[in-house]
Structure 1
Amino acid sequence: MKTQRVESSAGFTLIEILVAFVVISVGALALGSFGLTTMSSGQTSRERLTAVHLAEQVLEHWQQDANDYAPTIAADCTMSAASAAPSYPTSDTCNPATGVGIAFTIAANTTNATGPLASNLTGMQNFTQPTGYLNTPMTKLVTVSWTRRGKSRTVYLTHLSKVY
């Protein structure tokens, strides 16, 4: 009787190893790309949140000012009462001491309030001065702009001021 010798192949061929390496590499690159995109998105969200917070601070300070002047903004984005009536539009560039570490340009402006009125819903027109009041309503506009990776971004906040 003759015995047959059976060879067992225990292990992987070079082709199998290379294919597995390529599949793992593609998966790792996809996860790395996803991680970078997530971090970039988070940074953009922090910047936008900081910009909205700065715009809200300007409007709050402006509303609390006894003379109804937009605040003066320091280089570290701190705000103080304007010593004289600003010439609108105003614009300051600042870099918050804490947070995202980029420069923001903050602009403040006022204009007569406009909007659709009952007599003409198809167009915008100036509000008229209400009887018994000294001033017409004003719109206060705060614009916060910054640049991220060469792309300009802007946040707008408006407020319809009260009539005195």
Structure 2
Amino acid sequence: MVTFKGNSVNLKGQNIEVGAKAPKVELVAGDLSLKSVGGASGKYQIINVVPSLDTGVCATQTRKFNEKASSLNNAEVFVISLDLPFAQGRFCSTEGISNVVALSDFRSKEFGEKYGVIIDGSPLEGLLSRAVFVVNPNGEIVHKEIVSEITTEPNYEAALGAIK
């Protein structure tokens, strides 16, 4: 069950579980090119999902993954939101985010649909819910956390612990 400030929130999209193949999805990068996440990449992928980088908890979550990612050798770290790529770029530049790749799902919401994280029926309707997925080099989901209260941070250590 997911809540926003204590009120129940529904999520739309497919429900994927640990052990499943991570759907490969193309998202928009800061230079408006397309970048894929999910699927087999030969590296671990930490897919950090936030409603908007323009909120305190989302900013903190991205900063913490940026700090922790600096010590990872076999992993790429992404932050995905529906923010426009220009806003994401400004945020990363202002905050000194260099170890996390910001990607936007604004064009199609395909990521939100395939990973089951589109918020439905709340003041945040249409945005992505707070979540973390870890995909192993073979493209399998080895960690999934849909954060139960959208206004709280995820379990960073559990996500990082999924990387061997």
TM-score, structure 2 normalization:
0.27
Structure index of larger Rg: 1
In terms of fraction of residues, the more helix-rich structure is 1
TM-score, structure 1 normalization:
0.27
- Which structure has more relative contact order (CA 8 Å, sep 6+)? It is 2
